């Protein structure tokens, strides 16, 4: 597994939003690769470019946004150069997405079963009945209670957890090699969150899909990730294995994020929660140097003037920070 071909390889991706006063970047110099069976987490606050990255991976960016440069390769094939037909053939079949809000992401006037079957029929040469049977199978796979009956119900008739299961079943319908999950548990109760995360992890192990999971929740990261990419203001600031991230975080932003999560050590809450002072700078008005410098407790004059490169600090551990420069 370790050295398998990446299922998805993104290199030097730049996404920009075209506004009235010209274009400004929302994702800059993004590179990542995911191998079959691997889960990569994209972590960051809202507005840091996580969701834009995810949407660009399916070429589903809103009209106002566009990929300015870079490449996306799916199983070695250049996804950005494909014609519309081929892109549509890939979507749902090779690469699928689990969206954040299952209530709004599912069509309110079609039954769950119809919506899953529709995807099956788009990509497989099967009849209506067979596609519906496949939909019921998928619902069974995601442990939907009473899948036969639920398949005939509409989204508003299901609970939040069941809707998210249906959403996952929809993504799995054609057994895609790559799954992108955009905050799949944010809209759910904590107990249901744990169930859904367990389900996603379990299915991924069984089916061997390559998975990108987008979250702002470090608890989710610890639960499910193999590797983690931390993003800030549209750029990667740190990338390493999940163990390395929690044992030895390098970037002050990552450290700040961890301070904002309650930790329990030896059964008691170990320290007061801390927050990161200030807010994310607007993407159309980024500071000249490191985007995090204005909020960084250890920022130097250099940080404000020059942007630190994203480089390997220790083997397998990348960060963009002028500190730790010599390993």
Partner 1 sequence: MLAYIVRRLLLLIPMAAGMVIVTFGLLLLIPGDPASVLLGQEASPEAIQNLRNALGLNDPWYIRLGAYFAHLLQGDMGRSIFQNQAVSEIIAGRLGATVELAVVALILACLIGVTLGVIAATRQGSIIDTAAMVFAQLGVSMPVYWLGLLLMLLFAVTLGWLPSIGRGVPFPKAFLAAFSGRPGVLLDSFSHILLPAFALAANSAAIISRLVRTAMLEVLREDFVRTAYAKGLRRKRVIVRHALRNALLPVLSVIGLRFGALLGGAVLTESIFAWPGLGQLTITAISQRDLPLIQGIVLTFAIIFALVNLVVDLLYAVVDPRIRLG
Residues that bind partner 1 (CB under 8 A): 58, 60, 88-93, 96-97, 99, 101, 104-110, 118-119, 122-123, 154, 156, 170
Q: How far is the CB of 173 from partner 1 (least distance, A)?
A: 8
- Give the residue with the Cβ less far from partner 1, 96 or 283: 96
- Give the residue with the Cβ less far from partner 1, 45 or 101: 101
Q: Say how far apart CA 327 and CA 313 lie, in whole Å.
A: 5
- Give the contacts of 87 (CB within 8 A, at least 6 positions apart): 59, 79
- Give the residue with the Cβ less far from partner 1, 117 or 203: 117
Nearest to 116 by CA among 173, 70, 168: 173
Q: How far is the CB of 81 from partner 1 (least distance, A)?
A: 18
- Give the residue with the Cβ less far from partner 1, 101 or 140: 101
Nearest to 124 by CA among 132, 181, 207: 132
- Give the residue with the Cβ less far from partner 1, 84 or 191: 84
Q: How far is the CB of 96 from partner 1 (least distance, A)?
A: 7
Q: How far is the CB of 204 from partner 1 (least distance, A)?
A: 18
Q: How far is the CB of 31 from partner 1 (least distance, A)?
A: 23
Q: How far is the CB of 178 from partner 1 (least distance, A)?
A: 12
- Give the residue with the Cβ less far from partner 1, 120 or 197: 120
Q: How far is the CB of 131 from partner 1 (least distance, A)?
A: 12
- Give the residue with the Cβ less far from partner 1, 180 or 228: 180
Q: How far is the CB of 32 from partner 1 (least distance, A)?
A: 19
- Give the residue with the Cβ less far from partner 1, 55 or 220: 55
Q: Say how far apart CA 95 and CA 77 lie, in whole Å.
A: 13
CA dihedral over 254, 225, 101, 10, signed as positive or negative: positive
Q: Say how far apart CA 184 and CA 168 lie, in whole Å.
A: 9
């Amino acid at each position: 597994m370790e050295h398998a071909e990446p299922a998805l390889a993104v290199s030097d991706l730049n996404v920009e939003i075209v506004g009235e006063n010209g274009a400004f970047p929302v994702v800059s110099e993004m590179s990542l690769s995911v191998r079959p069976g691997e889960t990569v987490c994209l972590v960051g606050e809202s507005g840091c470019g996580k969701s834009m990255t995810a949407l660009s991976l399916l070429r589903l960016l809103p009209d106002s946004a566009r990929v300015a440069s870079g490449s996306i390769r799916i199983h070695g094939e250049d996804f950005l150069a494909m014609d519309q037909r081929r892109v549509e053939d890939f979507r749902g079949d090779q690469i699928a997405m689990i969206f954040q809000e299952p209530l709004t992401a599912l069509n309110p006037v079609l039954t769950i079963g119809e919506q899953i079957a529709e995807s099956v029929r788009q990509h497989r040469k099967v009849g209506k009945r067979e596609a519906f049977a496949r939909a019921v199978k998928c619902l069974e796979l995601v442990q939907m209670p009473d899948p036969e009956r639920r398949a005939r119900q509409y989204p508003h008739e299901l609970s939040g957890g069941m809707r998210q299961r249906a959403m996952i079943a929809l993504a799995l319908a054609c057994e895609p090699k790559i799954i992108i999950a955009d905050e799949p548990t944010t809209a759910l109760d904590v107990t249901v969150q744990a169930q859904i995360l367990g389900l996603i992890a379990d299915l991924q192990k069984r089916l061997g899909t390559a998975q990108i999971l987008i979250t702002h929740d470090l608890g989710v990261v610890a639960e499910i990730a193999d590797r983690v990419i931390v993003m800030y203001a549209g750029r990667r600031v740190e990338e390493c294995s999940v163990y390395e991230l929690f044992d030895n975080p390098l970037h002050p932003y990552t450290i700040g994020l961890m301070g904002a999560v309650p930790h329990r050590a030896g059964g008691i809450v170990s320290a007061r929660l801390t927050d990161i002072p200030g807010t994310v700078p607007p993407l159309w008005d980024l500071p000249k140097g490191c985007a995090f410098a204005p909020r960084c407790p250890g920022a130097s004059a250099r940080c404000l003037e020059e942007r630190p490169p994203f480089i390997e600090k220790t083997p397998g551990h990348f960060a963009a920070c002028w500190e730790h420069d010599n390993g």
